[in-house]
Amino acid sequence: MSAELSDCVRRSLNRYFRDLDGQAPHAIYDMVIRMVERPMLEVVMKQAGGNQTLAADILGINRNTLRRKLTEYELL
């Protein structure tokens, strides 16, 4: 599973660089994190039935961190 995710990210980044068409890349780290983090939070929250404590445990992060991220992505 993790290899599939890595391959997906790799293909997407290669496509991103190819599609730049001469423009300089910028803030790639933040772009990738934001593109992966939101859907991850959505799926985990669904799997946890909306239970933030359970979702935080599944993610391996503190519940306050999860809440901050859910607020940041307007998922509350």
pLDDT in tens, 18-75: 999 889 999 999 999 999 999 999 999 999 999 999 999 999 999 999 999 999 999 9
CA 10 to chain CA centroid, nearest Å: 15
Model pLDDT, residue 22: 86
Structural domain boundaries in the chain: 2-72
14: pLDDT strictly greater than 90 = yes
Model pLDDT, residue 3: 82
- Tell which residue, 32, 36, 33, 30, has the closest CA to residue 14: 32
pTM of the model: 0.81
Which CATH superfamily does the domain covering 2-72 fall into? Homeodomain-like (1.10.10.60)
